[in-house]
Amino acid sequence: MSNRTFTWWRRFHSPVKLKKNQMWKGYPQLLQRIEFGEFEYCHLSEECLLEEELYRLEEIEIRKELTRSDEEAIQEKLFDRRKLKNKRVKLMMHAHLKKEHEILKSLKENLCKEFNMSNEFINNFFDNFDGDTRQLYYSLRAIANKKPIPSNIDIDKYPKAFVQQPRHVLKHEHRGLNKVWKKVVKQNKIWNAHGITD
């Protein structure tokens, strides 16, 4: 049985992990994985917005297609479409919450290991930290090395091994939705969407 049976609800490719043979030698592996975007937020919650927009557009089409006097038929058609949309969104949000938990847990475990810090210390630092994942790494590294924590502005000037992988890359069979997705991205100011510029 194909794995697609279980992922029929995905219109976008999942972010990928950096392979060991793609990593630079002499540069911390965890930092490379962070820069590549392995520990960034799960994108599925934003992709639910496409489902809402597609349903809205389909409702307009259904109402154009059927006459006003046939409101019962309109509601029946909308009910079936809404049911499918809600099923897809429910699966996406379930996967989103699960993935978010896994990402945070993995990041914390890796940081504890990398800097020989307690889980409690990392959790407390997380709660008060204001910056991105890369800035978090460098801040914790400074603490581990008993050095002053650099500013986020200074950290952003440090050279990177990788450009972060793009998010929200539509699968080939869903490329026809690109125009609608671009509209959703611009309306909701979705960051780092593949192939879409401001």
**Where is pLDDT greater, at 136 or 5?**
136
Average pLDDT over residues 144-159: 96
Does residue 193 share a domain with residue 138?
no
pLDDT value of position 195: 63
**Global confidence as pTM:** 0.85
- Tell whether the model's pLDDT for residue 146 goes beyond 60: yes
Does residue 105 share a domain with residue 46?
yes
Does residue 172 share a domain with residue 89?
yes
Does residue 147 share a domain with residue 176?
no
Check if the beta carbon of residue 42 is closer than 8 Å to that of residue 100: yes
Does residue 189 share a domain with residue 122?
no
Instruction: Report residue 79: phi and psi, to 5°.
Output: -60, -45
- Tell whether the model's pLDDT for residue 196 goes beyond 90: no
Does residue 60 share a domain with residue 110?
yes
- Which of helix, strand or coil describes residue 197? coil
Does residue 51 share a domain with residue 136?
no
H or E element, residue 137: helix 133-144
Domain assignment present for residue 19? The answer is: no
Domain assignment present for residue 179? The answer is: yes
Domain assignment present for residue 145? The answer is: yes
Full domain range(s) for residue 79: 40-114+166-198
Domain assignment present for residue 32? The answer is: no
Does residue 138 share a domain with residue 68?
no
Residue type, 165: Q
What is the Cα–Cα distance from 110 to 8, expressed in whole angstroms? 32
Domain assignment present for residue 3? The answer is: no
Does residue 131 share a domain with residue 66?
no
Q: What is the pLDDT of residues 159-178, one digit of tens each?
A: 999 999 988 999 999 999 99
Does residue 191 share a domain with residue 181?
yes
Q: How many structural domains compose the chain? A: 2
What is the Cα–Cα distance from 72 to 62, expressed in whole angstroms? 12
Domain assignment present for residue 120? The answer is: yes
